[in-house]
Amino acid sequence: MGTFQGHLLAGVFFLVFSLYYAVMVSLALLRGQRLLSPPLPPREKRGHRWWQRVPVQGMMKVVIALGGIIPEFFYPPGVNRMKIVDWEDPRRPFIFYDNWDHATMYGFFMLSGVVDIVSQACQAWQNVKLERAAEALAFCVLTLLMAAHLENKGTLEIRVHVLFVVLTFLVSLVLIIEVWVPDQPTLWVLKTWLGLVLSCWMLQLSVLMYVPPSGQPWKAENPGDLAFLTIFFCWHLALGAAVLAAVYGLCSLWHHRFSSWRETPGAKYQPCPRGYSNEELEKLGTEAMLQDGGV
Listing DSSP states for the chain in one string gives --SHHHHHHHHHHHHHHHHHHHHHHHHHHHHT-SSSSPPPPPGGGS-SSHHHHS-HHHHHHHHHHHHHHHHHHH-STT-----SB-TTSTT--B--HHHHHHHHHHHHHHHHHHHHHIIIIISSS--HHHHHHHHHHHHHHHHHHHHHTTTT--HHHHHHHHHHHHHHHHHHHHHHHHHHS---HHHHHHHHHHHHHHHHHHHHHHHHHH--TTSS---TT-HHHHHHHHHHHHHHHHHHHHHHHHHHHHHHHHHHHHHHHHS-TTTS--PPPSS--HHHHHHHHHHHHHHHHH-
Delimit the domains of the chain by residue range. 4-253
pLDDT at 187: 93
Mean pLDDT of all residues in the chain?
81
Give the pLDDT score at 286.
53
pLDDT grade for 43, boundaries at 50, 70 and 90: low
pLDDT at 294 over 80: no
Task: List the Cα angle 106/109/112 in 5-degree steps.
Answer: 155
Distances (CA, A) of 99 to 59, 144, 219, 245: 23, 16, 25, 37
User: What is the pLDDT confidence band of residue 25, given thresholds at 50, 70 and 90?
Assistant: very high
What are phi and psi for residue 191, nearest 5 degrees? -65, -45
| Complete DSSP assignment for 163-174 | HHHHHHHHHHHH
pLDDT at 149 over 80: no
What is the rounded CA–CA span in Å between residue 248 and residue 245?
5
My answer on whether omega of the bond before 71 falls inside 30° of 0, hence cis, is: no
Longest distance between any two alpha carbons in the chain, whole Å: 105
pLDDT, tens only, 188-223: 999 999 999 999 998 888 888 787 777 777 776 777
CA angle 257, 260, 263 (to 5 degrees): 150
Taking alpha carbons only, the member of 186, 180, 111 closest to residue 141 is 111
pTM here? Answer: 0.80
Read off the pLDDT of residues 216-253 as tens digits, 9 standing for 90 and up: 777 767 777 788 888 989 999 999 999 999 999 999 99
Q: Would you say residue 180 has pLDDT above 80?
A: yes
pLDDT digit string, tens, across residues 44-80: 666 666 666 678 888 989 998 998 888 888 887 888 8
Handedness of CA 28, 33, 34, 36 (dihedral sign): negative
The proportion of the chain whose per-residue pLDDT surpasses 90, expressed as a percent, equals: 33
Residue 45, pLDDT score: 67
Q: For residues 28 and 21, what is the distance between their CA atoms, to the nearest angstrom?
A: 10
